[in-house]
Amino acid sequence: MAGMRSADVVELLGRVPVFSTLVQGDLERIAELSVPRRFEPGEVVFREGDASDTCYVVREGHARAIREHGDGRTITLATFGPGDFFGELAMFEDELRSATVEAIEPIAVVAVLGPDMRRLMTEHPEISMRLVVALGRRLRETNERLSRQSFQTVQSRVAVALSSSDALEAGRRARAMASACWVWRLYQEPRGLTDLIPFARFDGGDPV
pLDDT value at residue 167: 42
pLDDT value at residue 142: 65
Comparing CA positions, the residue from 67, 69, 59 lying closest to residue 101 is 67
pLDDT value at residue 52: 87
pLDDT value at residue 73: 87
Q: How would you write the pLDDT of the chain (208 residues) with one tens digit per residue?
A: 545 788 999 999 999 888 888 999 999 999 999 999 999 999 999 999 998 899 999 999 999 999 988 888 889 989 999 999 998 888 888 788 989 999 999 999 999 999 999 999 999 989 888 888 877 776 676 667 667 666 666 655 555 554 444 444 444 544 544 554 455 445 545 444 444 444 333 333 333 3
C-alpha distances in Å from residue 135, one per residue of 22, 111, 148: 12, 20, 20
- Provide the whole-model pTM: 0.69
Residue 104 · residue 64 · CB < 8 Å: yes
Residue 164 · residue 105 · CB < 8 Å: no
- Residue ranges matching CATH 2.60.120.10 in the chain: 6-114
pLDDT value at residue 65: 94
Q: Nearest 5°: CA angle at 199, between 193 and 204?
A: 125
C-beta atoms surrounding 66 within 10 Å = 18
Distance, in Å, from the CA atom of 175 to the CA atom of 161, rounded to the nearest integer, reads 18
Domain at 6-114: CATH code:
2.60.120.10
